[in-house]
């Protein structure tokens, strides 16, 4: 179990650099993202312009060293930026999270120098957009049962990939995809290989775009591979290492989703606080009633607990870079608690706002819809409980 005493001090005071980054992202997100969030939610279009601006600010490669096009910051910085972006709009933060923790992190940790130069530099600098593709129509939580196949050609130069992937965040717009396929099905999860896939090559087909309840501006689609020829040089890691790579990247990804959840929850909480002060009923602001006060107290307490668990997971990941120890449990606990907190707080926020919470004239109903996905993607709450309990009970 990781402790909370750390290089940031026992009270988790942020460094000057962290505060500067958080304030700059907050300013950008409130100025550039908040005004367009409802419009993109309604249309379901991808907000390319603001995503490009986030890239210019270094937000598409926060933890990537500057030599590979990134901002060279740490995981606490990543979490702080994610919270501010998600507070403005969850859809934007989904794009940032996948690009940073599932794709860039994978290329930095497992990629060859040539792969880093070809793929990581444009992704981390925000020129290109990345996606991570594990899920299939018949393989979600049980990720080891995928059917997409990659077979080495006779010349030994390329893997020929065939299959259908689903629920790929940024699938409709991605330039580069970290793709997981079966290369040796008889070996089950030890027969899975990860590839870095270039969306420009023939045989890469973008499938149906998902119509979604929330995070509607983050484009999600199927990806179809029809005799896609992937050069052997584009294997990520080694053949057969794909499942471990997928899980390792999800550990990092789950910290991003925890931070996203904190951001959504904070937006809903602050809106509720303002409304409780302004809205009058029975001759006084509704914040004067103890039933509303009880909600405010529970919302604030859970929000801060979720934030601390998210910082804790970020610190565990930072320590892991030095010790090599896994931070799986810390990431799962943060993701589980923060996502269920986001759902709880947005639910309470709609209730506090009454009819206005149900209206599209205020952002609260969007926060409520956006929060739900955090309990589902990058491992459902049920899967997080499995991961935590297996680790605590020393089970496999
Ligand atoms: N890090 C490194 N290795 C890991 C690991 C981790 N976090 N978790 C498991 N492994 C290793 C194990 O050590 C084991 O290795 P050995 O065989 O060498 O001993 C191997 O992987 C198999 O592990 P398990 O036996 O535990 O595997 P399992 O089949 O029982 O699955 C699971 C475990 C936790 C349920 C896992 O399948 C899982 O996390 N499922 C959820 C998948 C998920 O999150 N999907 C979301 C996809 S992304 C998305 O949402 C869309 C998007 O665009 C964002």
Say whether both 368 and 280 belong to one domain: yes
Is 0.85 surpassed by the pTM of this model? yes
For residue 312, the domain's CATH number is: 1.20.140.10
CA distances to 72, 83, 150, 204 from 310, rounded to whole Å, are 20, 10, 37, 36
Phi and psi at 153, nearest 5°, equal -75, 170
Cα(316) to ligand 1 centroid in Å equals 19
Task: Residue count of the chain, please give it.
Answer: 396
Say whether both 272 and 175 belong to one domain: no
367 lines ligand 1 (CB under 6 A): no
Say whether both 273 and 313 belong to one domain: yes
> Residue 213's pLDDT is what?
98
Q: Which of 364, 380, 192, 149 is nearest to 272 (CA)?
A: 364
DSSP characters over 201-229: STTEEEEEEPP-SS-TTS-EEEEEEEEEE
| DSSP state letter for 231 | E
Say whether both 236 and 270 belong to one domain: no
Say whether both 249 and 376 belong to one domain: yes
179 lines ligand 1 (CB under 6 A): no
For residue 36, the domain's CATH number is: 1.10.540.10
The parent domain of residue 166 ranges over 131-242
CA distances to 62, 71, 108 from 123, rounded to whole Å, are 11, 12, 11
Q: Are 148 and 22 in contact (CB under 8 A)?
A: no
Cα(245) to ligand 1 centroid in Å equals 9
174 lines ligand 1 (CB under 6 A): no
**What tens digit of pLDDT does each residue of 127-137 get?**
999 999 999 99
Helix (H) or strand (E) holding 163: strand 158-169
| Domain end among 129, 161, 185 | 129
Q: Are strands 176-182 and 130-133 parallel, antiparallel or unpaired?
A: parallel
- Mark whether 304 is an active-site residue: no
> Residue 13's pLDDT is what?
76
| Domain end among 227, 242, 257 | 242
143 lines ligand 1 (CB under 6 A): yes
> Residue 182's pLDDT is what?
97
Q: pLDDT under 70 in the chain at which residues?
A: 1-11
**What tens digit of pLDDT does each residue of 201-257 get?**
999 999 999 999 999 999 999 999 999 999 999 999 999 999 999 999 999 999 999
> Residue 8's pLDDT is what?
44
Count of structural domains within the chain = 3
């Amino acid at each position: 179990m990781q402790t909370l005493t750390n290089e940031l001090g026992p009270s988790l005071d942020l460094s000057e650099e962290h505060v500067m980054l958080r304030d700059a992202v907050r300013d950008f997100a409130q100025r550039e993202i908040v005004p367009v969030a409802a419009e993109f939610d309604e249309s379901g279009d991808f907000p390319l312009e603001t995503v490009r601006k986030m890239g210019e600010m270094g937000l598409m490669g926060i933890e990537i060293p500057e030599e590979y096009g990134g901002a060279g910051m740490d995981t606490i910085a990543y979490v702080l930026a994610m919270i501010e972006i998600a507070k403005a709009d969850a859809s934007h933060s989904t794009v940032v999270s996948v690009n940073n923790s599932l794709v860039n992190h994978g290329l930095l940790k497992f990629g060859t120098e040539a792969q880093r130069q070809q793929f990581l530099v444009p992704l981390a600098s925000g020129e290109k957009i990345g996606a991570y593709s594990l899920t299939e129509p018949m393989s979600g939580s049980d990720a080891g049962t995928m059917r997409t196949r990659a077979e080495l050609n006779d010349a030994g130069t390329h893997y020929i990939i065939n299959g259908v992937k689903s629920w790929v965040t940024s699938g409709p717009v991605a330039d580069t995809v970290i793709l997981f396929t079966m290369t040796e099905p008889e070996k089950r999860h030890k027969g899975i290989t990860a590839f870095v896939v270039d969306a420009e090559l023939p045989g890469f087909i973008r499938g149906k775009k998902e119509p979604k309840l929330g995070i509607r501006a983050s484009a999600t689609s199927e990806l179809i591979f029809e005799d896609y020829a992937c050069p052997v040089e584009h294997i990520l890691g080694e053949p057969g290492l794909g499942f471990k790579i997928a899980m390792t990247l999800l550990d990092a990804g789950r910290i991003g989703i925890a931070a996203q959840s904190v951001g959504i929850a904070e937006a809903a909480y602050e809106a509720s606080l303002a409304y409780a002060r302004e809205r009058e009923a029975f001759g006084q602001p509704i914040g004067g009633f103890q039933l509303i006060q009880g909600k405010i107290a529970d919302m604030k307490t859970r929000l801060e607990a979720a934030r601390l668990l998210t910082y804790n997971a970020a610190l565990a990941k930072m320590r892991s870079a030095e010790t090599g120890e896994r931070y799986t449990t810390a990431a799962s606990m943060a993701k589980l608690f923060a996502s269920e907190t986001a759902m709880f707080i947005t639910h309470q926020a709609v209730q506090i706002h009454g009819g206005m919470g149900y209206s599209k004239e205020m952002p609260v109903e969007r926060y409520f819809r956006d929060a739900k996905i955090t309990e589902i993607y990058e491992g459902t709450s049920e899967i997080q409980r499995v991961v935590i309990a297996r680790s605590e009970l020393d089970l496999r």
